[in-house]
Amino acid sequence: MDVKGIITISISSVSLGISLFVLIRSIFTESFKLKCEKVKWFASMQEKQPFFIWMIISNNSKMPVSVLKMELECIRDNKKITAISRGEKHLVMTRKKAEVQEHIYSNEYPICINGYSAFGGYIHFSSNEHQFNFEDQDVIVTVYTNRGKKKQKMHLDYGSNIFRVMLDVSGEGKIKKNSDGTPIDFQYDGI
């Protein structure tokens, strides 16, 4: 083999190596990575009412993503129960700040999240089951997006249910322990 052939093969090999590196890097940076974190949630005592999860949804990829729908599912008493969020805007709560009422609403879909960004707000869920069936349960959250769907586990504990915290503050809260017998760690911040 002559010098010209060796140079050609060397340049081709280096070019192939660079192309493979760029391909692998692009796949890694542009792959679909979504994370959901529960901050708090709110379920009222009324049956068949929507309940709300204050969630932070992080898009840990380069490409933007749009959240189109969410579902929750868990197993309680050997029965699968589900809740669906279609993104209609609902009133979560009204609070008074300096003689002015502030209305807090859940978010509407689609929720558009740019690359390497996050979104936070209340997401409403509706179910044919009473919302307290989801309390103190590990739930699977399925997030449907324009780039596919992702599933993630989340725990809806007593201590981060705003309704339970308000009951505890008022002295009307009767539940003081988790189902495993540990004391409930109520999140009082913002109440």
State which H helix or E strand residue 5 sits in.
Answer: helix 3-30
* pLDDT tens series, the chain, 191 aa: 688 888 888 888 989 899 988 888 877 767 788 999 999 998 877 777 788 999 999 999 888 999 999 999 999 889 999 999 987 788 887 888 788 888 888 889 999 999 899 999 999 998 888 888 888 899 999 999 999 899 999 999 988 888 888 888 888 878 888 888 888 888 877 66
List pLDDT tens digits, range 51-95: 899 999 999 988 899 999 999 999 988 999 999 998 778 888 788
DSSP E strands in 86-159: the ranges are 91-97, 100-105, 111-113, 117-125, 137-145, 148-156
Q: What end-to-end distance do the CA atoms of the chain give, in Å?
A: 79
The model's pTM is 0.78
By the 10 Å C-beta count (0-12 exposed, 13-18 middle, 19+ buried), 53 is classed as: buried
Residues 103 and 81: their CA atoms lie apart, in Å, by 30
- Asked whether the beta carbons of 74 and 139 are under 8 A apart, the reply is yes
Q: Which class is domain 32-170?
A: mainly beta
Backbone φ/ψ region at 148: left (φ over 0), alpha (ψ -120 to 50), beta: left
Where are the chain's structural domains? 1-30, 32-170
Q: What pLDDT is stored for residue 1 in this prediction?
A: 66
Q: What pLDDT is stored for residue 113 in this prediction?
A: 94
